[in-house]
């Protein structure tokens, strides 16, 4: 099979030379677009050194059997693909399911990294978690760049400098990494999350958990936040506003799968913050957790810096590319052989991540999903 690596509108690259080398060692071919890994500090020679071949973007789109990308290619480029091409990317079908029809009409198979179940067995393949962890780390560093105050407590000849207070809203993977990073820098850290399981994790990192009683059960939410009652939201807003007013830095990470991000910070709350304080909103791409967030921008409102950035992982392009590639490698262990792909749809990871298969839309169609699952084999027993 011919694997194609494209240069994307991102500082990361989907396949590192190390993974390209592995594909080649297993009997496959790899081609790459010039400059595909340059912004991740993998130059073209590092790909040719492992046996990959340089091709034009158009040639890759027309000839590659497999394309692995960070983000989906454009509709115009889909038209260049051959029937039977395998696409692997983060398609976010829960945001716009019509993307599935686009691939189905071309007879393509598409597998979405963001549909991989967030279970223990799939952790090594979880692209979302890998990138979220980097984003949480980078969010704190972004805040320190803008904050006109120290993070740690310092005793100086001129007097003692108090530590900054950092509030993390959303204690998932990104939030937990933000907590750990802020603690390493010596800040006083508090964190809030509606998910009950987060409390122990927050406290294990040395942060104080901000708890609001009465949250809806999130046991079956797959690691995502769930919609809460209006009464809960009111109590939540009151307590969070009190914490925001005292915070030097607020980092928000709360997102609802397939829905706009919840607004956790009102304009009034921003006005209550100390001049020079910083908000880093990782949920900006889905509307943001702060009412004043502007996606992909740093703005200053009411003397508060507001960073809207859901793609912070791309700022640490080399390591992010390595982790992304490792996730892909672990995922492909389930299906890639020397002869090509062998999809065992009885594996929940493969089944759930498949959104289109051989021109058939699988996402959101339980009947077609189940049709892919092989019937259980019945062992014959000898008669007594």
Mean pLDDT rounded to a whole number for the chain: 94
Q: Per-residue pLDDT averaged across 8-25, rounded?
A: 98
What's the CA gap between 284 and 260, in Å, rounded? 10
Give residue 231's pLDDT. 87
Annotate 160-193 with b (16+ C-beta within 10 A) or e (fewer).
eeebbbbbbbbbbbbbbbbbbbbbebebbbbbbb
Q: pLDDT (tens digit, 9 = 90+) per residue, 269-328?
A: 999 999 999 999 999 999 999 999 999 999 999 999 999 999 999 999 999 999 999 999
* Terminal-residue alpha carbon distance, the chain: 49
Q: Per-residue pLDDT averaged across 249-273, rounded?
A: 95
Q: For the chain, what's the residue count?
A: 384
Give residue 384's pLDDT. 42
Give residue 225's pLDDT. 59
Give residue 226's pLDDT. 66
Active-site residue set: 118, 123, 126, 129, 224
> Are the CB atoms for 243 and 237 separated by under 8 Å?
no
- Chain centroid to Cα 263, Å, comes to 20
Describe the strand order of the beta sheet including 208-210 as a list of residue ranges.
208-210, 188-192, 165-169, 249-252, 278-281, 304-308, 297-301
Angle, helix 127-146 to helix 173-184, in steps of 10 degrees: 40
> Are the CB atoms for 254 and 225 separated by under 8 Å?
yes
Task: Go through the domains of the chain in sequence order and give each one's CATH number.
Answer: 2-124+317-372 (3.40.50.720), 136-315 (3.40.50.720)
> Are the CB atoms for 147 and 278 separated by under 8 Å?
yes
Sole residue written with tokens 């791309």: 314
pLDDT classification of 381: cutoffs 50, 70, 90 = low
Name the pairing type of β-strands 53-55 and 29-33. Answer: parallel
Q: On the CB side of 40, how many CA atoms lie within 13 Å of its CA?
A: 31
What's the CA gap between 40 and 231, in Å, rounded? 47
Q: pLDDT (tens digit, 9 = 90+) per residue, 323-373?
A: 999 999 999 999 999 999 999 999 999 999 999 999 999 999 999 999 999
pLDDT at 196 over 90: no
Give residue 230's pLDDT. 85
> Are the CB atoms for 331 and 116 separated by under 8 Å?
yes
Give residue 221's pLDDT. 58
Q: On the CB side of 126, how many CA atoms lie within 13 Å of its CA?
A: 16
What's the CA gap between 23 and 73, in Å, rounded? 22
In the chain, the percentage of residues whose pLDDT exceeds 90 is 88
Secondary structure E strands in 237-369: 249-252, 278-281, 297-301, 304-308, 336-337, 340-341, 354-357, 360-361
* DSSP secondary structure letter of residue 129: H
Q: pLDDT (tens digit, 9 = 90+) per residue, 111-169?
A: 999 999 999 999 999 999 999 999 999 999 999 999 999 999 999 999 999 999 999 99
């Amino acid at each position: 099979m011919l694997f194609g690596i494209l240069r994307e509108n991102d500082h990361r690259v989907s396949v590192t030379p190390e993974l390209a080398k592995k594909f080649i060692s297993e009997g496959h071919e790899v081609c790459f677009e010039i400059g595909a890994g340059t912004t991740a500090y993998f130059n073209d020679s590092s790909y040719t050194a492992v046996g990959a071949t340089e091709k034009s973007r158009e040639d890759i789109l027309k000839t590659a059997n497999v394309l692995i990308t960070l983000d989906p290619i454009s509709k115009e480029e889909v038209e260049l693909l051959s029937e039977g091409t395998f696409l692997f990317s983060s398609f976010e079908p829960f945001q716009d399911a019509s993307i599935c029809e686009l691939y189905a009409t071309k007879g393509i198979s598409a597998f979405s990294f963001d549909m991989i179940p967030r279970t223990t067995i799939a952790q090594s393949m979880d692209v979302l978690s890998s990138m979220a962890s980097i984003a949480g780390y980078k969010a704190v560093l972004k805040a320190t760049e803008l904050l006109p105050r120290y993070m740690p407590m310092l005793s100086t000849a001129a007097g003692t400098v108090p530590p900054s207070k950092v509030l993390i809203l959303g204690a998932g993977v990104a939030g937990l990494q933000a907590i750990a990073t802020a603690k390493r820098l010596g800040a006083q850290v508090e964190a809030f999350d509606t998910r009950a399981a987060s409390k122990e994790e927050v406290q294990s990192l040395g942060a104080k958990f901000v708890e609001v009683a009465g949250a809806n059960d999130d046991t079956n939410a797959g690691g995502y936040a769930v919609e809460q009652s209006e009464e809960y939201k009111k109590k939540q807003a009151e307590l969070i506003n009190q914490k925001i007013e005292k915070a030097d830095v607020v980092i928000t990470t709360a997102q609802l799968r397939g829905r706009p991000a919840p607004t956790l910070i009102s304009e009034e709350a921003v006005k209550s913050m100390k001049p020079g304080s910083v908000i880093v909103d990782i949920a900006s791409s889905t509307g943001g957790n702060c009412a004043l967030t502007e996606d992909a921008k740093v703005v200053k409102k009411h003397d508060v810096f507001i960073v809207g950035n859901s793609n912070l992982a791309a700022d640490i392009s080399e390591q992010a590319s390595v982790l992304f590639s490792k996730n892909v490698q672990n995922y492909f262990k389930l299906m890639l052989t020397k002869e090509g792909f062998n999809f065992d749809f009885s594996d929940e990871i493969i089944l759930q991540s498949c959104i289109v298969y051989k021109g058939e839309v699988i996402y959101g169609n339980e009947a077609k999903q189940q049709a892919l699952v092989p019937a259980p084999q019945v062992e014959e027993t000898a008669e007594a």
